[in-house]
Structure 1
Amino acid sequence: MALHNRKYLKENRRELRGSLTPAEAELWKYLKEGQMEGRKFRRQHSVANYILDFYCPSERLAIELDGQIHQNSNSEYFDEKRDQALESLGINVLRFENKEIFQNLEAVLQEISSSFSR
């Protein structure tokens, strides 16, 4: 079975790409078209059974933006398990709160850039 972009998640991925959150749309402006040090990012890319907000294949890097729904114990537990599963596949996960995109975008971009292998 394919690990990336499984067919049964195709419609979900398409819907999510068409309805980015404001924070996702803002960050995408800086990630798309190789603007981040030439790295290609994909929006709403699936790995295993998870749909990632952003994924950089060359760096094996997932970026997740968390809104208020992620600020409860059930969501935090799920996010932790998801991150562990992705890390077991060799994928590094960076998480940011939505508000960080609007309040400190430069620091977010710097952290993403710092995670790149040189």
Structure 2
Amino acid sequence: MPQLTDTVQRSMFYGAKPEVFRKAKVLRANMTPSEIKLNEKLRNNQILGLRFKAQHPINQFIVDFYCHPLRLVIEVDGEIHDLKSAKEYDENRTLELEKLGLKIIRFTNKDVTENIDTVIDKITHICRTIIKREY
């Protein structure tokens, strides 16, 4: 992996370690069908010209999608996330990411596979709201 400046490492990846980057690379190569479908709509700056990075390292976590200028995380949750232990983990993870000043939005696999246009509309609305508030 190319060396990144300390500023970029801290600001975009929040101090993620090399092993987190390695795991993210594996996850990008093995995305779920829902993640692939959403990525097709997010990549190439298709939403308001914003760049979303898939399987992005942030601190000790890997988020499904990340838009750095808006500090926006998008998570796509499968059925495993319905389990109590997974819900608790997700809640704690969300709190940790929010402590970094990030906004997290979640969709289910079913949302993405069955209602991709609605998902994209919601993401676009949230992005517009953040842009209006921040800029």
TM-score by length of 1: 0.94
Identity between Structure 1 and Structure 2 (%): 33
Map of 2:57 onto structure 1:
46
Alignment of 1:1-118 (within 5 A): 2-3=9-10, 4=13, 5-116=16-127, 117-118=131-132
Query: 1:6: Cα distance to partner?
Result: 2.6
What SS does structure 1 have at the residue aligned with 2:44?
A: helix
Provide the aligned length of Structure 1 versus Structure 2.
118
Q: Which has the higher helix share?
A: 2
One-letter identity of the residue aligned with 2:75 = E
What SS does structure 2 have at the residue aligned with 1:37?
A: coil
CA distance in 2, matches of 1:98, 1:6: 28
CA distance in 2, matches of 1:58, 1:6: 21
CA deviation digits over 1:42-73, x for unaligned, max 9? 01111111100000001100000000111100
| Residue ranges of structure 2 left out of the alignment (5+ in a row) | 1-5
What SS does structure 1 have at the residue aligned with 2:43?
A: helix
CA distance in 1, matches of 2:106, 2:67: 14
CA distance in 2, matches of 1:106, 1:22: 16
CA distance in 1, matches of 2:100, 2:75: 16
Which segments of structure 1 move beyond 2 Å, counting only runs of 4 or more? none
CA RMSD of superposed structures (Å):
1.3
